[in-house]
Chain A
């Protein structure tokens, strides 16, 4: 590690690396509670506004400021979320609402599981019925006994 004595460099570095505005004051439990329902739309992450890690994120930072301001005005969580939907559309939500066409996003994975289970059940039934059809007439006990004797003989040889 080396220390730089260049004040010009330090000025550039500090200007470039410092945060333009203190962002931490907006990361409160109340802001997080509302933010967890809202998607960060910066396209650089798939996080919610609550857990977007970029303090200066072009979307989440102003969104957190907005949530904090609306909370200060005494608005409820639902009202704040609705104000985001009014402005951004449904994409403001971290997950689509479970209604209308969008409910398919929630339903389809479980339909797929159910369909898969049905397929497995059909497969088992089909193959089990084959087995029943292929089982044929009962075996002659003498034949079974002869096989048993052979097995015993082979096992003795192994010992």
Chain B
């Protein structure tokens, strides 16, 4: 079986190379049969990678412990879904998973565009298959998932395996990596179209129109992956930290930030024909940051709790990144004439300007995160001293940047395209500003003194008001004309311009998330030792350890603390945090117990027994408002889905000026 899997990967690598050469030569020599053959090679690559993936998954489920990968990441006692998740639980398997997703995306793109973009598609195929060939090269020749244990001349069956890392045996871990990978891999598609449009000197926005949905869906996957990871960290690590500024977490955030900037600035290109070079830079940066994130996770260049075992693949990633970035820079510089702006900026106070500032702040945040992540490596290379750049740095730098971004989230939608008069700005900003200021004054009066928290809550109120006002104004106009109620009118309004109002809903999700993030400033934590029957306190909660129970199943042994919880003296139920010891790996983990409410979560971790075995050691936390982060995600998800619904009305946007080669091409095409 393993030989068949390895053979499938070798063949897939060969077909990917064939597809690249077939596309390029077919286009160069104008040989349609070669182009068709190169397209079919894409489907063949998918089929072969699917076969290899199927064999690995079967080996994991069946427990073929002759394979090093299976023995390292699966065992007999693991539940079926975790055996399946072990596919992406380790270095080699996750690279195979990457290859499978990219092959699937490539096949879908090739199929859906088989009769479109005849100029661009050969290059799109070549870019997709070059990336695919790179990953296939790694798992075929450098770190194969089908390596077997060999002793002397014989293959050894270990009988059972180590199992998946216990920390990963949690339900969101079954979904989190695939979502993140769907995001990482998905950005290859818009990048491939952008690259192809540069090669073919496309003057218009064809690549953007084609890949808009891809980009939004991919961005949604990436957002979901990041939030699931945050949810996992919150519920599994035992201290409630949903974001630790770990290098690997940061690596997933970086392309998300550039993709968010791209989703905003791309509107400038679609509506005004502006920022074409910038959009090329952003989508290229997003793609390369995805590859960089994958490199960071696997190369050992920075230390991280998330990182896979160190392996020799780092240098291959560096080479791939260097060649890719050099190629993208060359193409962008060489095609500058085709990327000239078709409009100009009419006023500093305009939607266009707000997009510029939004992009600036997003990119500044991206740079700050990247800089903080890599600075220990840079500093050691320059000074020879090892340094740490931990949470305090990221919080000090990113909190003000994040708050300014939140401010722009509220300002942007209120400013008109082309130009806004000061009078209209005054009208639009009056009530949101009053709402924000009133909330801040009320919070100060209530005793809140944390400056960032006050500012954050004030801005949340400001942005929420701007969004509600936008819906209200539009819905009221429709209601006045149609006689429908405001709610039905708001739905009609959203349906007319799904992208705009879906975007506002996404912004509302971000506001909810900021409310949740701000709650972190008011967290309480206590580490307490309590004898069964005794009571401990945290905030307005009383915790009585009623019992300590023990048990086991095939996978792990557990100790569980049964804790009766009262709030201000009123019983509110029992929480049962658990400490586990996984038998195969001998690794202990915590299963925390959380009482989730909209205003605050009570979070209990049973850390173990004291050294005299008489007291339970409980780490108790109160996290105010943390649920709003997860609510914010669901709102963001809903808003993004709304953006994907085709709008009822097609809107036209006036462009004020057409200049340069791009403009002339556009005029000729029309």
- Tell yes or no: B244 within 8 A of A by CB: yes
Residues of B close to A44: CB separation below 8 A: 305
Q: How far is the CA of A159 from the CA of B371 in the complex (A)?
A: 58
Residues of B close to A102: CB separation below 8 A: 379, 383, 387
Indicate whether A18 sits within 8 Å of B613 (C-beta atoms), given known contacts A44-B305, A108-B371, A112-B364. yes
Residues of A close to B389: CB separation below 8 A: 95-96, 105
- Tell yes or no: B295 within 8 A of A by CB: no
* Chain B residue with Cβ nearest A42: B305
Cross-chain contact B356 with A123 (CB below 8 angstroms): yes
Residues 35-62 of A at the B interface (beta carbon under 8 Å):
36, 39-41, 43-48, 51, 53-55
Residues of A close to B433: CB separation below 8 A: none
Cross-chain contact B393 with A95 (CB below 8 angstroms): yes
Residue B239 contacts which of A12, A24, A53, A131 (CB distance < 8 angstroms)? A53
Q: How far is the CA of A89 from the CA of B376 in the complex (A)?
A: 13
- Tell yes or no: B630 within 8 A of A by CB: no
Indicate whether A4 sits within 8 Å of B379 (C-beta atoms), given known contacts A27-B527, A41-B388, A128-B344. no
Cross-chain contact B386 with A90 (CB below 8 angstroms): yes
Cross-chain contact A131 with B390 (CB below 8 angstroms): no
Most chain B beta-carbon contacts within 10 A, residue among A40, A51, A113: A113
Which candidate, B129-137, B194-202, B345-353, B511-519, is the interface stretch facing chain A? B345-353
Cross-chain contact A21 with B611 (CB below 8 angstroms): yes
Q: How far is the CA of A130 from the CA of B659 in the complex (A)?
A: 10
Q: How far is the CA of A21 from the CA of B611 in the complex (A)?
A: 5
Q: How far is the CA of A109 from the CA of B373 in the complex (A)?
A: 12
Q: How far is the CA of A40 from the CA of B244 in the complex (A)?
A: 13
* Chain A residue with Cβ nearest B560: A1
Number of contacting residues on A, CB 8 A? 62
Cross-chain contact A47 with B390 (CB below 8 angstroms): yes
Residues of A close to B382: CB separation below 8 A: 101
Residues of B close to A108: CB separation below 8 A: 367, 371
Q: Mark B528-571, 1 if CB is under 8 A from A, else 0.
A: 11000000000000000000011110000111100000000000
Residue B244 contacts which of A2, A45, A92 (CB distance < 8 angstroms)? A45
Q: Mark A91-119, 1 if CB is under 8 A from B, else 0.
A: 11111100011101110110011001101
Residues of A close to B549: CB separation below 8 A: 1, 3
Indicate whether A19 sits within 8 Å of B611 (C-beta atoms), given known contacts A12-B557, A109-B368, A124-B345. yes
Q: How far is the CA of A108 from the CA of B375 in the complex (A)?
A: 11
- Tell yes or no: B341 within 8 A of A by CB: yes
Q: Mark A8-20, 1 if CB is under 8 A from B, else 0.
A: 0110111011111
Indicate whether A112 sits within 8 Å of B368 (C-beta atoms), given known contacts A16-B581, A53-B238, A124-B353. yes
Residues of B close to A40: CB separation below 8 A: 390
Residues of A close to B657: CB separation below 8 A: 130-131, 134
Q: Mark B252-263, 1 if CB is under 8 A from A, else 0.
A: 000000000000
**How many CB-defined contacts (below 8 Å) exist between A and B?**
196
Most chain B beta-carbon contacts within 10 A, residue among A23, A89, A108, A109: A109
* Chain B residue with Cβ nearest A44: B305
Residues of B close to A123: CB separation below 8 A: 345, 356
Residues of A close to B390: CB separation below 8 A: 39-40, 46-48, 94-95
Q: Mark A120-149, 1 if CB is under 8 A from B, else 0.
A: 100110011011001000000000000000
- Tell yes or no: A22 within 8 A of B by CB: yes
- Tell yes or no: B245 within 8 A of A by CB: yes
* Chain B residue with Cβ nearest A26: B527
Cross-chain contact A113 with B581 (CB below 8 angstroms): no
Cross-chain contact A24 with B528 (CB below 8 angstroms): yes
* Chain B residue with Cβ nearest A47: B391
Q: How far is the CA of A102 from the CA of B383 in the complex (A)?
A: 9
Q: How far is the CA of A12 from the CA of B245 in the complex (A)?
A: 36
Contact-residue size bin, chain B (C-beta under 8 Å from the other chain): 35 or more
Q: Mark B337-378, 1 if CB is under 8 A from A, else 0.
A: 000010011101000010011001101100110011001100
Residues of B close to A27: CB separation below 8 A: 527
Residues of A close to B527: CB separation below 8 A: 23-24, 27, 55
Cross-chain contact A93 with B388 (CB below 8 angstroms): yes
* Chain B residue with Cβ nearest A32: B525
Q: Mark B583-615, 1 if CB is under 8 A from A, else 0.
A: 000101000000000000000010111110100
Cross-chain contact A91 with B550 (CB below 8 angstroms): no
- Tell yes or no: B617 within 8 A of A by CB: yes
Most chain B beta-carbon contacts within 10 A, residue among A9, A39, A96, A104: A96
Q: How far is the CA of A124 from the CA of B347 in the complex (A)?
A: 8
Residues of A close to B560: CB separation below 8 A: 1
- Tell yes or no: B451 within 8 A of A by CB: no
Q: How far is the CA of A41 from the CA of B376 in the complex (A)?
A: 13
Residues of B close to A113: CB separation below 8 A: 360-361, 364, 401
Q: How far is the CA of A66 from the CA of B245 in the complex (A)?
A: 27
Cross-chain contact A13 with B550 (CB below 8 angstroms): yes
Hey, which bits of chain A sit against chain B, CB under 8 A? 1-4, 9-10, 12-14, 16-24, 27, 36, 39-41, 43-48, 51, 53-55, 89-96, 100-102, 104-106, 108-109, 112-113, 116-117, 119-120, 123-124, 127-128, 130-131, 134
Hey, which bits of chain B sit against chain A, CB under 8 A? 237-239, 241, 244-246, 303-305, 341, 344-346, 348, 353, 356-357, 360-361, 363-364, 367-368, 371-372, 375-376, 379, 382-383, 385-393, 396-397, 401, 525, 527-529, 549-552, 557-560, 579, 581, 586, 588, 605, 607-611, 613, 617, 619, 657, 659
Given A14-B609, A95-B390, 7 other A-B residues pairs in contact with their CB atoms under 8 A:
A13-B558, A27-B527, A43-B303, A94-B390, A106-B397, A113-B401, A120-B356
